[in-house]
Chain A
Amino acid sequence: MHASYVIRRLLQIIPTFLAVMLVVFLLVRLLPGDPASAILGDRATAEIVERTNRELGLDRPLPIQFGVFVRNLLQGDLGDSISLKIPVLRLIGERLPTTLFLTAYAAVLGVLMAVPLAVLAAVRRNTWVDAVIRAVFQVGLSLPVFYVALQLLSLLGARLGWFPIGGYGEGFGGHLYHLFLPALTLGLNLAAILVRTLRNSIIEVLTAEYVDFARAKGLRSRVIMTRHVLRNALIATVTLLGLNIGALIGGAVITETVFAIPGVGRLMVDAIFGRDYPVIQGLTLTFALIVSLVFLITDLIHARLDPRAELS
């Protein structure tokens, strides 16, 4: 992999991120009426509204406000949470690891479910095995995340008592145990997204001429499976995981809300109901940054694994 490619891709993130900042900046300024009244609620007097506007710098022209916004951001200042009265950056720093743990856990569970089943469906394509796997995941794709979460929570959590019904737990083992049901919820959703595309891409490999050639050459089928089929399945999985990072984050927002997990997803929903605009801004920026980094990493891994991938 060329270092210049990595640097070029990193540099490309900068204009994207400036544009992201502009969108997030304008989002809050789109508020009907002025932000200060929205933040303070209906009971605030005109005087307090005016003072808040001045304190927040909202009485200045928009381009200047944006300049200040970007300058503060570059200094790591995302403002203070209105409801919790602590810096937004610190708040996100405290909550983000939980969400990262949850999404990584979900990705692992999702891949562990999707890859073997996709390989099985592809090898046994157009048989009843394939039909059952595809039908199950077709329904799985239409199962809303909040619904699966609620059912797992009530059945395996509350009724059978196998798993805790919320929280994050202590230590790595505690996290694994506490987050199992939420990660399973998200992982099932991810597996449903992955299985179909993976199955098709594996079939493509299985029927490709070079695999025919490998067979004709007398290569054992186990070698063909590992060297060609699984390698390609791996490439496809990495790409699909990267492309679906947005869906995974969206799912985390809902799952954390249902399971009362103290991550950034739940923080987002709480901030929305608390009209905590600095937090909403900070989180939207954070999510966009994560997605663009994951897109970048996906491209790099893809370039590494697939010799055909063009580095342009």
Chain B
Amino acid sequence: MTTMHSPALEVAARPRRRWPKPTLLIGLALLLLLLVAALFPRALAPFSPTDFDYEALLKGPSAKHPFGTDNFGRDVLSRVIYATRVDLQIAVFTTLFPFIFGTLLGALTGYLGRWSDALVGRVADLVVVFPFLVLVIAIVAVLGPGLTNMYIAVSAVGWVSYWRLTRGEVMNQKKAEYAQAGRVLGYSPSRILLRHLLPNAVTPAIVYLMTDMSLGILLGASLGYLGLGAQPPTAEWGVMVADGKNFMATAWWISTFPGLALTLAGVTFSLIGDGLADALRPRT
């Protein structure tokens, strides 16, 4: 075997400067665009998202209404822009609570192990037996439709992935030298866990958070479409697609543009997720 790779040689190779991959840059640029739309809708939107104009019902795309108007004469472009804030809020809230809850729980049970880990593991096994969407809509059905109840339902189900990722990582880090050094120095377990282990173990969960935001925004819009998420007349992309579904044959623009916006937002978060995963992957 003469073609063997020597690990020592690889380490000795000149470290190349790693530029961010285009995926991450494109993702961040798109995110900037979405953030501007979410923060300054008034500056960008030509019309109010809720004003009816009975002179301009179901008008196709034109210079005045680039995305056309809906069956109440509302400007679709303005509604798509105003909806950005609601849908970004959905992306954040459907992931932030599961992230916080799952990560802390994962750190705790990964560190303590034994019965706490076994117990949470059983609960996690139970949660994944239910199809995600089915459990979420069943919980929303019981609590009642609306965004707040949707966040509660998603949090009750979505923590499992974060728990798994962080738990595994903490279990690995626990054996690392720096954690043992902390113990030798007499640091309290909570200090070792929160100040030393968790910051080192949270990376996979943060990478997943971005991918999950892409899934969360789609889930939120799906519930909006079914009538279980944001409620009309709120401008939300899923609700808007549902609003236009009966006019597909005559006024395709009502559903099509909000759907494209939704897809764009989904792509944005999945590009950032991929880019981050690539950038944060340990260098070998």
Interface residues of A (CB under 8 A from B): 16, 19-20, 23, 27-28, 30-32, 138-139, 141-147, 150-151, 153-154, 158-159, 245-247, 249-251, 253-254, 257-258, 268-269, 271-273, 275, 280, 283-284, 287-288, 291-292, 295
Q: Is the CB of B133 within 8 A of A253?
A: yes
B201 to chain A, nearest CB (A): 24
Question: Known: A145-B222, A159-B249, A257-B226. Is A291-B266 also a contact (CB below 8 A)?
Answer: no
A182 to chain B, nearest CB (A): 15
- Alpha-carbon distance A132/B53, docked complex (angstroms): 43
B185 to chain A, nearest CB (A): 39
- Secondary structure at the A interface, as helix, strand, loop or mixed, is helix
Interface residues of B (CB under 8 A from A): 122, 125-126, 128-135, 137-144, 214, 218, 221-222, 225-228, 238, 241-242, 245, 248-249, 252, 255-256, 259, 262-267, 270-271, 274
Within 8 Å by CB of B129, from A20, A30, A139, A150, lies: A20
Q: Is the CB of A150 within 8 A of B263?
A: no
Within 8 Å by CB of B266, from A141, A245, A247, A254, lies: A141
Question: Known: A142-B270, A144-B218, A146-B222. Is A158-B249 also a contact (CB below 8 A)?
Answer: yes
Q: Is the CB of B126 within 8 A of A16?
A: yes
Within 8 Å by CB of B130, from A138, A147, A269, A291, lies: A291
Q: Is the CB of B266 within 8 A of A273?
A: no
- Alpha-carbon distance A145/B132, docked complex (angstroms): 15
- Alpha-carbon distance A203/B193, docked complex (angstroms): 38
Q: Is the CB of A150 within 8 A of B214?
A: no
Q: Is the CB of A249 within 8 A of B134?
A: yes
- Alpha-carbon distance A129/B221, docked complex (angstroms): 32
A223 to chain B, nearest CB (A): 24
Give the total number of A-B pairs whose CB atoms are below 8 A apart. Answer: 132
Scoring A32, A283, A288 by chain B CB atoms within 10 A of each residue's CB, the highest score goes to A288
Q: Is the CB of A268 within 8 A of B130?
A: no
A249 to chain B, nearest CB (A): 4
B203 to chain A, nearest CB (A): 20
- A153: chain B residues within 8 A (beta carbon): 248
- A280: chain B residues within 8 A (beta carbon): 138, 141
Question: Known: A146-B225, A150-B248. Is A16-B129 also a contact (CB below 8 A)?
Answer: yes
- Alpha-carbon distance A195/B245, docked complex (angstroms): 30
Q: Is the CB of B130 within 8 A of A287?
A: yes
- Alpha-carbon distance A258/B244, docked complex (angstroms): 13
Q: Is the CB of A144 within 8 A of B138?
A: no
- B245: chain A residues within 8 A (beta carbon): 150, 258
- Alpha-carbon distance A146/B218, docked complex (angstroms): 10
Within 8 Å by CB of B252, from A19, A154, A268, A292, lies: A154
- Alpha-carbon distance A250/B214, docked complex (angstroms): 16
Q: Given A253-B134, A272-B140, list of 11 further CB < 8 A pairs?
A: A142-B264, A143-B263, A144-B221, A144-B225, A150-B245, A249-B133, A250-B132, A275-B141, A280-B141, A287-B130, A291-B131
- B241: chain A residues within 8 A (beta carbon): 144, 146-147, 150
Question: Known: A147-B263, A150-B241, A254-B222. Is A272-B130 also a contact (CB below 8 A)?
Answer: no
- Alpha-carbon distance A291/B129, docked complex (angstroms): 6
A155 to chain B, nearest CB (A): 9
Counting from the closest, the 5 A-B pairs by CB-CB distance are A142-B266, A250-B133, A154-B248, A246-B131, A272-B141
In chain B, what residue has the closest Cβ to A29?
B142
- B256: chain A residues within 8 A (beta carbon): 151
- B132: chain A residues within 8 A (beta carbon): 246-247, 250
- A32: chain B residues within 8 A (beta carbon): 143-144
B31 to chain A, nearest CB (A): 14
A131 to chain B, nearest CB (A): 11
- A268: chain B residues within 8 A (beta carbon): 134, 137
- B225: chain A residues within 8 A (beta carbon): 144, 146, 254
B149 to chain A, nearest CB (A): 10
Q: Is the CB of B131 within 8 A of A249?
A: yes
Ordered by A's residue number, 22 sampled pairs between the chains whose C-beta atoms are within 8 Å are A23-B126, A138-B267, A138-B270, A138-B274, A142-B264, A142-B267, A146-B225, A147-B241, A147-B263, A150-B241, A150-B259, A153-B248, A154-B248, A154-B252, A158-B249, A245-B131, A246-B130, A249-B133, A250-B131, A253-B133, A253-B134, A273-B227
Q: Is the CB of A247 within 8 A of B131?
A: yes
Within 8 Å by CB of A150, from B126, B131, B139, B255, lies: B255
A221 to chain B, nearest CB (A): 21
In chain B, what residue has the closest Cβ to A196?
B274
Q: Is the CB of A141 within 8 A of B270?
A: yes
Q: Is the CB of B221 within 8 A of A27?
A: no
- Alpha-carbon distance A250/B248, docked complex (angstroms): 24
Q: Is the CB of B238 within 8 A of A27?
A: no
In chain A, what residue has the closest Cβ to B241?
A147
B138 to chain A, nearest CB (A): 5
Q: Is the CB of B263 within 8 A of A284?
A: no
Q: Is the CB of B226 within 8 A of A254?
A: yes
- Alpha-carbon distance A144/B274, docked complex (angstroms): 19
- B266: chain A residues within 8 A (beta carbon): 141-144
- Alpha-carbon distance A251/B226, docked complex (angstroms): 12
A196 to chain B, nearest CB (A): 9
- A245: chain B residues within 8 A (beta carbon): 131
Q: Is the CB of A27 within 8 A of B249?
A: no
- A158: chain B residues within 8 A (beta carbon): 248-249
